[in-house]
């Protein structure tokens, strides 16, 4: 029986953290989108638990993030179908990323990701630029680490081009989501763990970290430590006004490319 009302949560946060927080929320709730109002979450059941979960997540990061919440109960509409209709497949280089209610595309490397299950679906500028970099730099014989894997889309793309992949995230729900998305795509990873790069046991040909600038600075030594000499480091999730924070922390590496898309920057390095 269809309910007369549903709940809507609006989360307002600084632009540099919006994709980061949206991805976390999408790993614990369906129907997440970003609009001019902020991060919008809808559900037929009470979704106030998301506020507590996000606050705990932010506390675990050890960085200050100003965030505001507003929950309202609204008259029911078929918002799930409307949300699905707003999500279209996207092509990035050789990759075709599509939700399960679409068909794969012939001649492309197909990756099935449901945005309602995890926000990293290729549409955001940081994910898009990271996928472009993977298309150009990742080779079949590479051992790759995806740090802060979220939905697992970047590790999946790397696996699809033949790399052996490890992936990790500090959020246990993201770890579960990545595991499910690998199964959904019939792919296998080498290692997947809850935690960060400091727990890595190998040295990698490619390391990918699509996080936020402040965290990229905090974990810079570990990211460089696990990257082999001559290896490629792909850093994304960097708001342009925060680029200097990241660049200073990786100045000992060779900058191969700087990719700007909208207000976001992706930096690609090689370890000398």
Please name each of the domains of the chain with its CATH number.
Answer: 5-84 (3.30.70.930), 120-270 (3.40.50.150)
- Mapping DSSP onto H, E and C, the string for 41-75 reads EEECCCCCHHHHHHHHHHHHHCCCCCEEEEEEEEE
| Per-residue pLDDT at 244 exceeds 90 | yes
More confident of the two residues 110 and 1: 110
**Tokens coding 205:** 């040909």
The reported pTM is 0.77
Helix, strand, coil percentages (3-state) for the chain, rounded to 5, are 35, 35, 35
More confident of the two residues 55 and 81: 55
Please tell me whether residue 72 adopts helix, strand or coil conformation: strand
| Per-residue pLDDT at 144 exceeds 90 | yes
Mean pLDDT of 199-205: 97
Q: Which residues of 1-40 are buried (b: 16+ CB within 10 A; e: fewer)?
A: eeeeebbbbebebeebbbbbbbbbbbbbbbbbbbeeebbb
Question: Residue 100's closest CA among 185, 210, 207, 10?
Answer: 185
Helix (H) or strand (E) holding 176: helix 172-184
**pLDDT, position 140:** 96
**Tokens coding 206:** 């490619």
β-strand partners of 260: 265
**Tokens coding 169:** 């995230």
| Per-residue pLDDT at 155 exceeds 70 | yes
| Per-residue pLDDT at 114 exceeds 80 | no
pLDDT, one tens digit per residue, over 51-73 is 998 998 888 877 788 999 999 88
pLDDT, one tens digit per residue, over 2-33 is 566 788 899 999 888 887 788 788 777 767 87
| Per-residue pLDDT at 86 exceeds 60 | yes
| Per-residue pLDDT at 247 exceeds 90 | yes
**Tokens coding 78:** 């078929």
| Per-residue pLDDT at 1 exceeds 80 | no
| Per-residue pLDDT at 117 exceeds 50 | no
Q: Cα separation of 251 and 142, whole Å?
A: 24
């Amino acid at each position: 029986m269809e309910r007369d009302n549903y709940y809507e949560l609006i989360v307002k946060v600084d632009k540099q953290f919006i994709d980061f927080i949206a991805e976390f929320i999408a790993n614990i709730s369906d129907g997440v989108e970003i609009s001019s109002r902020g991060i919008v979450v809808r559900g037929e059941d009470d979704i106030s638990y998301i506020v507590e979960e996000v606050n705990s997540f932010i506390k675990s990061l050890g960085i200050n993030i100003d965030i505001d919440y507003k929950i309202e109960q609204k008259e029911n509409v078929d918002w799930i179908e409307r949300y699905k209709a707003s999500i279209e497949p996207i092509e990035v280089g050789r990759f075709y990323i599509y939700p399960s209610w679409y068909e794969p595309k012939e001649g492309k490397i197909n990756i099935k990701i449901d945005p309602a299950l995890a926000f990293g679906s290729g549409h955001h500028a940081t994910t898009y630029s990271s996928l472009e970099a993977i298309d150009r730099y990742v080779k079949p014989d590479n051992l790759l680490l995806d740090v802060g894997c979220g939905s697992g889309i970047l590790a999946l793309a790397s696996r699809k081009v033949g790399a052996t992949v490890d992936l990790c995230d500090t959020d246990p729900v993201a770890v579960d989501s990545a595991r499910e998305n690998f199964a959904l795509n019939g792919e296998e990873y080498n290692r997947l763990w809850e935690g960060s790069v400091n727990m890595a046991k190998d040295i990698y040909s490619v390391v990918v970290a699509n996080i936020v600038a402040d965290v990229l600075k905090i974990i810079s030594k570990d990211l460089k430590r696990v990257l082999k000499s001559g290896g490629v480091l792909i850093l994304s999730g960097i708001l342009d006004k925060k680029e200097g924070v990241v660049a200073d922390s990786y100045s000992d590496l060779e900058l191969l490319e700087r990719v700007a898309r909208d207000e976001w920057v992706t930096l690609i390095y090689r370890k000398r």
